[in-house]
Amino acid sequence: MTQFFDVHPKTPQTRLIQKAAEFFRKGVVVYPTDSYYALGCLQGNVDAIARLRQLRGVGEEHLMTLACTDLGQIGDYGVMDTAAFRVMKKHVPGAYTFVLAATKKVSRRLHHPRRKTVAFRVPSHPVAQALLAEVGEPIISTTLRLVGDEAPLDVADFRERLRGQVDAVIDSGSCVMVPTTVINFSENPPQLLREGGGEVDAAEEEQGVA
């Protein structure tokens, strides 16, 4: 059975956020971000991670993302040098994803099996921020695109497609439906892997983000 929550996109109701956060401790939850809706679960739930990969249709080599509350929490799970820190500090929270080498706090089930890297982001969506604060740890996240779909799902398809597939859905209306900008800081020089909703300015390009 899937539990649906209708949460205000700008002023999320505390009572609903508290209830919704409990479902992250049980299984797989759909929640809004500042790009697309995402499938999310927690590191310690092995079954939920397996279900998330199955719903998404990806294997162990798919780079997983940890959604974090802030840059300090990212620093607990990812290795960043001074240059990476300066760039990331300018852009969190926001529509950016940063690839970093994983620390020992990251479960081996999450990082790339050969490169030992993990993607990180701090979403600016008020509901995502409220959920992360309530859950109290990073949320494993991946774009809500089900097996066989060419595009991510938005709210119009939720009730029909997700009922019985996930443990909870947090509906906060349509997301912007633009991907994040992805920067890989695990290599030297850093690599801009994808241009999306977050801008990379000329100063950052001079620092090697290109």
Residues 23-80 have pLDDT tens digits of 999 999 999 999 999 999 999 899 999 999 999 998 877 878 999 999 999 999 999 9
- pTM for this model (two decimals): 0.92
CA triple 61-197-85, angle to 5 deg: 70
What pLDDT score was predicted for residue 202?
45
Peptide bond into 9 cis (omega under 30): no
Mean pLDDT to the nearest integer, 172-197: 93
What confidence tens digit (pLDDT) does each residue in 68-96 have? 999 999 999 999 999 899 999 999 999 99
Cβ pair 146, 153 in contact under 8 A: yes
Cα–Cα distances in angstroms (integers) from residue 68 to residues 18, 108, 130, 163, in the given order? 17, 18, 11, 27
The amino acid present at 54, given as its one-letter code, is Q
**Domains along the chain with CATH numbers:** 3-206 (3.90.870.10)
Q: What is the pLDDT of residue 140?
A: 95
| Tens digit of each residue's pLDDT (9 = 90 or more) over 95-154 | 999 999 988 888 776 666 666 889 999 999 999 999 999 999 999 999 999 998 999 999
Q: How many CB atoms lie within 10 A of CB 192?
A: 15
Give the CA angle between residues 177, 182, 183 to the nearest 5°: 160
Query: Predicted confidence band at 203 (pLDDT cuts at 50, 70, 90)?
Result: very low
Q: Is the pLDDT of residue 201 over 80?
A: no
Whole-angstrom Cα distance, residue 198 to residue 137? Answer: 24
pLDDT of residue 206: 43
pLDDT given at position 114: 67
